[in-house]
Chains A and B, each alone.
Chain A
Amino acid sequence: MIEGMADKDLFEQLAEAVTTMKPELVAELARKVLEQGLSPQDAMTQGLAAGMRRMGEKFAAKECFVPEVLLASKAMYAGFDILSKAASYKPQATKGKVILGVVQGDIHDIGKNIVKVMVQAAGFEVIDLGRNVPLPEFVKAAQNGAAVLGISSLMTTTMPRMGKVVEALDKAGLRPGVKVIVGGAPVTAQFARNIGADGFAPDAHAAVLEIERLTGRGEGLGTRD
């Protein structure tokens, strides 16, 4: 019981070091996790990912902004690098494969990058196609067993291309096997419905919840398998 409490303390400290954007402290705590023989996977979900999730909630509530989220993700990766290289690290079965990309002509990818961190932190495998992604690349990527395809656009000029991606996936016979979720500043739930997307998220935190809903993997973070 007392040992369990100690784990929790260390994981909680990890989460806090992520939300306070301290990569060195996260690294130090991650090494401590390994020294104490604790599970790297648990430290990831209950420490690093929990911290990122809190960051997502704060961002959605406008308690912090993009610079803080970027630095928190850096801190998270500082811990992830150490924990994932440990001999005792046994990667958990992922909750599924998620493809992310920003449509062609659009180079605004901060939002997508933040979504990527949050979705990874929630236990999904992420294939990042980057920004300015041509339509055929979305289709090609979706053919490799992805559960969800997340497309974003930050500009009204490139928004219609998200609809084109959905059409192309339909044509290739990839739906409803692959669920499509759309996001980006100008995107609304109405727009998502109009182009036939399965889901919509106004921010990174909502994206995680929506992807969990679409994949039926919504058991949430911090719970032990």
Chain B
Amino acid sequence: MESDRGGRFAALLRGEKPARPVVFPMVVANHAARLEGFSISEAVTQEDTLARVLYSAYRFYGYDLVMVFSDTMVEAEAMGAQVIIPDDDDPFLLDPPRVSRLEPANPDKDGRMPVVLGATRRLKALLDDEAPVLTSLKGPFSLSSFLHGIEKFLEDLLTDPGRAHEFLRIATDNQLAYAEAIVKAGGIPFIGDPVASGSLISPEMFREFARPYLEQLVSAVHECGARVGLHICGETKALLADMVATRADFLSIDEMDMALARQKVGENTVLMGNVSTRLMLEGTADKVAAAAKECLERGGPNLILSTSCDVPTDAPKENVQALVAAARQWGTV
């Protein structure tokens, strides 16, 4: 067992080049639950199960980080959105909250935020400094869209920007408290902002409605003395410079040419990514290994070798193993 995982991650974020690449295929609750024989609903509603499946998956695959991520709807649900939790599938948003006045939730009490925080605490206790624990939270833009309804929120960007900013402020307040609670629980906040995607909005909209609130969140985490990561789904070519400007400590990017991403963010930005999740699901272990190698060649050395988004529930374990092995073998053959 390697014992310098945490050290290598910290070194990477300090700007040093670790001897071997840090590797973390984004295994989260769904894949880990399936791997360990639990249903997804058990993993996303019980803090002990969530911690247990993530820990077991970490031991089984032997990657360098752990990510506490149950599903995208945790905060929206805690703020009053109606979320369906199927027996063995990812929770999904049914309706935005039906309240006249939205208020930030209490991270220690509302919805399943305590589940996520509890699992973070447990994993931190189990792993201590052996491996860093990332804990996922949503970017204010995505959370606002879940709270208002995605289409209505996107329309507001053009027709009622004032109302959009109102949602964003409330969502940001919620996330500031949640991020602080994550840091206190021993987690490294990892912001996912799937709706603030270049596939949906223009770079100008990102600059007006997403970036300022991300900046606020990032600097609040920095003030707590912690690091923070940022992931945006889908198309991000035109957003990379703005993602750098949020001052997040590492940027996780979805499918795109890693060499182009590296060129756009410069040598000093730590990137995380980006072996295709499609390939993880449908490809062979050989193809995953080749893609991982290409990723390291094009995006390294300031790179956390990872997947383009979360590892699909039913991705074959051989593919996840191949990605981890590619990092271990890097530079030796």
Contacts and interface: CB of A to CB of B under 8 A. Distances in A.
Interface string A172-207: 000000000000011010010010000000000000
**10 closest A-B pairs by CB:** A107-B92, A156-B277, A67-B154, A66-B200, A156-B312, A105-B89, A65-B202, A157-B312, A67-B157, A67-B158
B240 to A, nearest CB: 15
Interface string B287-325: 000000000000000000000011011100000000000
A21 B282 CA distance: 41
A106 B90 CA distance: 9
Given A156-B309, A185-B199, A110 B151 contact: yes
Contact of A191 (B92, B155, B278, B313): B278
Interface of A: 21, 64-68, 70-71, 74, 104-107, 110, 113, 132, 155-157, 159-160, 185-186, 188, 191, 194
Contact of A65 (B93, B94, B201): B201
B41 interface: no
Interface string B145-189: 000001100110111000000000000000000000000000000
B30 A110 contact: no
A68 B158 contact: yes
Interface in B200-229: 200-202, 205
Interface of B: 30, 86, 89-90, 92-94, 150-151, 154-155, 157-159, 199-202, 205, 234, 277-278, 280-282, 309-310, 312-314
A21 B159 CA distance: 10
A225 B150 CA distance: 38
B158 A21 contact: yes
Contact of A160 (B89, B158, B201, B314): B314
A66 B201 contact: yes
Contacts of B280: 156
Q: Specify the main secondary structure of chain A where it touches its partner.
A: loop
A107 B90 CA distance: 10
Between A65, A74, A106, the greatest number of chain B beta carbons within 10 A of the residue's beta carbon is seen for A65
Contacts of B86: 105
Given A65-B202, A67-B201, A107-B92, A156 B281 contact: yes
Given A156-B278, A157-B90, A157-B313, A70 B155 contact: yes
Contacts of A194: 282
A45 B90 CA distance: 41
Contacts of A104: 89
A155 B30 CA distance: 13
A64 to B, nearest CB: 8
A157 B93 contact: no
25 contacts: A65-B200, A65-B201, A67-B155, A67-B157, A67-B200, A68-B158, A70-B151, A71-B158, A71-B159, A104-B89, A105-B86, A107-B93, A107-B94, A110-B150, A110-B154, A113-B151, A155-B90, A157-B312, A159-B278, A159-B312, A185-B199, A186-B278, A188-B278, A191-B282, A194-B282
A157 to B, nearest CB: 5
Contacts of A185: 199, 234
A40 to B, nearest CB: 27
Contacts of A159: 278, 281, 312
Contacts of B282: 191, 194
Contacts of B89: 104-105
Nearest to B315: A156
A105 B277 CA distance: 17
B281 A160 contact: yes
Contacts of A70: 151, 154-155
A186 B233 CA distance: 11
A71 B155 contact: yes
B267 to A, nearest CB: 28
Nearest to B156: A67
B312 to A, nearest CB: 5
Given A67-B201, A186-B277, A188-B278, A105 B90 contact: yes
Contacts of A64: 202
A59 to B, nearest CB: 11
A137 to B, nearest CB: 16
A118 to B, nearest CB: 16
B90 A110 contact: no
A157 B312 CA distance: 5
Contacts of B151: 70, 110, 113
A132 B150 CA distance: 16
Contacts of A155: 90
A132 B92 CA distance: 9
B153 to A, nearest CB: 9
A64 B234 CA distance: 16
A160 B316 CA distance: 13
Contacts of A110: 150-151, 154, 200
